Amino acid sequence: MENIRTYPQPATQDVAQQQNRVLRNTYALLALSMVPTVLGALVGVQMKFSFFAGSPFIGFMVFLGVAWGFMWGIERTKNSGMGVALLLGFTFFMGLMLSRILQAALGFSNGGTLIAMAAGGTGAIFFALSAVASTTKRDFSNLGKFLFAGMILVLVAAVANIFFQIPALALAISALAVVIFSAYILYDINRIVHGGETNYITATLAVYLDVYNVFVSLLNLLMAFSGERD
């Protein structure tokens, strides 16, 4: 009878512990990443920072170039402390970019309330969906292709609206972005839980971008529907 050679498999308990460790580290680094984001936003508001002052299209392209440069560097160094440093540098940069919409919001008499509402809504969405993603046995990996297609659609529409400046299209883009990036929170956390992502730096980057885009999109919608001028 032919011998059947068997190879040792990792214990299920060990795999679960690793996934839980990645999830905990992701949450911890995500919380830490909010510090440079807030600092960047404060600096940007004080300096009235804007990439988009001269030419919105060129500014948007420069922003994408810098952002993708950071993300490339983070991916290359994700297994070292440099990956954490680059991630925190990236979140400071994103805070600077956030200052433009914060300046616009603060132009309303209830701007502080709008910002707080957007932050609270983003937090509620994150905690609700991350709880579902980390407790359900369902695998949401099949959503990946649909969400990526939706994200590309939002990006293309956003670039087009730089030229068209159609308010209704801007609102539609923001509403769609809230849905897509909320679903991405569910998808990205679920990937960690099911072992699809084993590096907490990469995982943090993905979830951070989800949260960031939900916040920006919610704030855009709140300014459009609830903003009050003096």
What's residue 2's pLDDT? 45
144 vs 60, 180, 196, CA distance in Å? 25, 11, 12
Whether the pLDDT of residue 45 is over 80: the answer is yes
Is 21 inside a domain boundary?
yes
Residues 199-206, mean pLDDT to the nearest whole number:
95
User: Over pLDDT 90: what percentage of the chain?
Assistant: 71
Q: Is 177 contained in some domain?
A: yes
Q: What is the pLDDT of residue 212?
A: 97
The CA-based angle 42-185-123, given to 5 degrees, is 45
In angstroms, the CA 55 to CA 53 distance is 6
Q: Is residue 19 part of a domain?
A: yes
Q: Tens digits of per-residue pLDDT, 83-139?
A: 999 999 999 999 999 999 999 999 999 999 999 999 999 999 999 999 999 888 888
Sequence-ordered alpha helix ranges (H) in the chain: 12-47, 56-76, 81-106, 111-135, 144-164, 167-193, 200-226
Give the residue-averaged pLDDT of 4-22.
65
Please state the domain count of the chain. 1
Q: Taken in order 147, 36, 59, 100, is the CA torsion positive or negative?
A: positive
- Inter-CA distances, 152 with 15, 79, 146, 210, 212, Å: 34, 28, 10, 14, 17
Q: Write down the pLDDT at residue 12.
A: 61
The verdict on residue 1 lying in a domain is no
pLDDT at 9 over 70: no
- pTM confidence score: 0.91
In a domain, 170, yes or no: yes
- Cβ neighbours for 74, distance < 8 A, ≥ 6 positions apart: 83, 86, 87, 90, 201, 202, 205
* Nearest residue to 128 via CA among 174, 189, 41: 189
Residue 4 pLDDT > 50: no
* Domain hosting residue 23, numbered range: 15-226
